[in-house]
Structure formats: structure tokens, C-alpha cells
Amino acid sequence: MKKSVTEISLSQSEILRKHHKVISIDMDMDLVYEKQIPIAGLVLLQGEVEFTRRYKILGSETSSCILGFNEVMNEIPVQHGCKVKKDSEVILLGKSELLNATEEHSAIFPLIKKYLKT
């Protein structure tokens, strides 16, 4: 998942906030473990995500970004675990939501389109 992090602009994050449920994380949450296929891509709006391998922290991301979309769309096992840290705000998007991106989401669709199989 670490390799598929794409930063998003403020306008893109606002569009996503408007159209999808924002989840506030009250305690650390493992989103996916290494070698699993994630069931949802993550939009980090605020807070921190840690990347792990064999329970060791490899790095983190604190910018507004999307991650895991490639793995979700193409059913690819992740190479790193992903933990969402306490007090983060995120949006989780499943494969069907990613595939059903519409013109209404045009600011975010270019980010999703590159992961679609042709």
C-alpha cells in the first residue's frame, strides 16, 4: 500500500467529504495486514497512517492522500500492513464505489481511472 499513495488536493478532499461518509477513528485500527488483498481503499483526510512489515513501522503518511486503490481495484495483495492512527479522519471506498465513480466525482475520477484494467 505504501507504494500506491497519491496525495490529493484540498478541493478533491472536499468533494469526497461531500459525497462520502467521513469516519473518525477513536483508536488505532489495522486496515490491512501484509500479503492480504484489501477490501477498501482509504482516503486520509486528517491524521496519520503507518506502514508496517512484520510488526515493524516502516514509515507513515500524514498528508491528505488516497491509498490502496490499485490493490483494491486489481485484487493485488499488499506488501505492507497499514494502520490508521487514533484521531484520524478517513473515508473507506470499496471496489464497487470506486468502479461507480461518476461525473459528479470528476475531480477524483482521474486518480481512480489509472487503476482501472483496460
Closest Cα partner for 113 from 97, 98, 96, 95? 98
Q: Is the pLDDT of residue 18 over 70?
A: yes
Q: How confident is the model at residue 62 (pLDDT cuts 50, 70, 90)?
A: very high
Q: Is residue 10 part of a domain?
A: yes
Residue 33: domain span:
2-113
Q: Is the pLDDT of residue 118 over 60?
A: no
pLDDT above 90: percentage of residues in the chain: 54
DSSP sequence for 24-48: E-SS-EEEE-TTPPPSEEEEEEES-
Q: Is residue 118 part of a domain?
A: no
Q: Is residue 107 part of a domain?
A: yes
User: Is pTM beyond 0.75 here?
Assistant: yes
Over its C-alpha atoms, the chain yields an Rg (Å, rounded) of 13
Within 10 A of 91 (CB to CB), how many other CB atoms are there? Answer: 20
pLDDT on residue 79: 92
Question: What CATH number corresponds to the domain at position 76?
Answer: 2.60.120.10
